[in-house]
Amino acid sequence: MTELVKYEIAEGVAEITFDDGKANVMSPAMLSALHAALDRAESDKAIVVLAGREGIFSAGFDLKVFAKNIAEESYGMLKQGAELAFRLLEYPRPVISACSGHALPMGAFLLLTSDVRLGVDGPFRIGLNEVMIGLTIPHFAIEIARHRLTAPYFNRIVTGEVLAPADALDAGYFDRLITADDLLPAARFAAASFTGIDMTHFTATKRRVRAQAVAAVRGAIDSEITLENYKRRLGQ
């Protein structure tokens, strides 16, 4: 696919592996590559397995882009990320995330919009830490979090608390924690288990289950993430 994203398909399952060799930040280039991979998966009518690099799923958006205070660039990156999360939320086939370590904001959004979320226990941080780094969490992210997180954790998480994997499991980020060696085999097994089902009924049911979240996230993106809003925010 690109040097940032690898795409492999076999027996109806597309493995999308993203690796920038560092912290797997969601830069404009990484987000563009992931969108392109998802385009291909949609064209292939594939079940998707998402996997990051060893020890880190994603450290989130590229803060260097935000630090430049250029409205067009900040808006463009956030819009790309929001639309990627939205595409996964309404993707018509199963999406399995194999989280090998840290997952911070955009990485956490990928988990929360996946159907099956597998993680690894260890000294990792999972969460939406916007508030802790001086940012206000976007409305679309709040709606994604509301859709998947358990009630006791929701307010704690959207106001910046990050969790160890075991607590993230309780909070609703993960469905299961397994060993690092077993992560990809387990994700592949989960994907394979869907290949024999009637995908028409899966898609219809997924749409019913996620209808409110899809509408809320779509509305939040369209109303909040605009270039005009970013220019006002930065006084440009």
66-96 pLDDT, tens digit per residue, is: 899 898 999 999 999 999 999 999 999 999 9
* CA 12-18-19 angle, 5° bins: 145
Q: Is the distance from CB of 149 to CB of 112 less than 8 angstroms?
A: yes
Residue 236 has pLDDT above 80, yes or no: no
Strand partners, 58: 103
- Strand boundaries in 43-183, DSSP class E: 47-51, 55-58, 60-61, 95-99, 101-103, 116-120, 126-127, 162-163, 176-178
CA–CA distance, 37 with 31 (Å, rounded to integer): 10
The structure's pTM equals 0.95
Strand bridging mode 5-10 / 13-18: antiparallel
CATH number of 5-180: 3.90.226.10
Per-residue pLDDT, averaged over 2-14, amounts to 94
Q: Is the dihedral of CA 183, 187, 188, 190 positive or negative?
A: positive
Q: What residue segments make up the domains of the chain, in order of their start?
A: 5-180
For the stretch 144-189, pLDDT in tens is 999 999 999 999 999 999 999 999 999 999 999 999 999 999 999 9
Percent of the chain with pLDDT over 90: 92
SS3 101: strand
Contacts of 207 (CB under 8 A, 6+ apart): 90, 92, 214
Mean pLDDT of 225-229: 91
Per-residue pLDDT band for 2 (boundaries 50, 70, 90) equals low
Mean pLDDT of the chain: 95
- Phi and psi for 131 in degrees, rounded to 5? -60, -40
User: CB-based contacts of 197: which residues, under 8 Å, 6+ apart?
Assistant: none
Give CA–CA dist 95/36, Å, rounded: 16
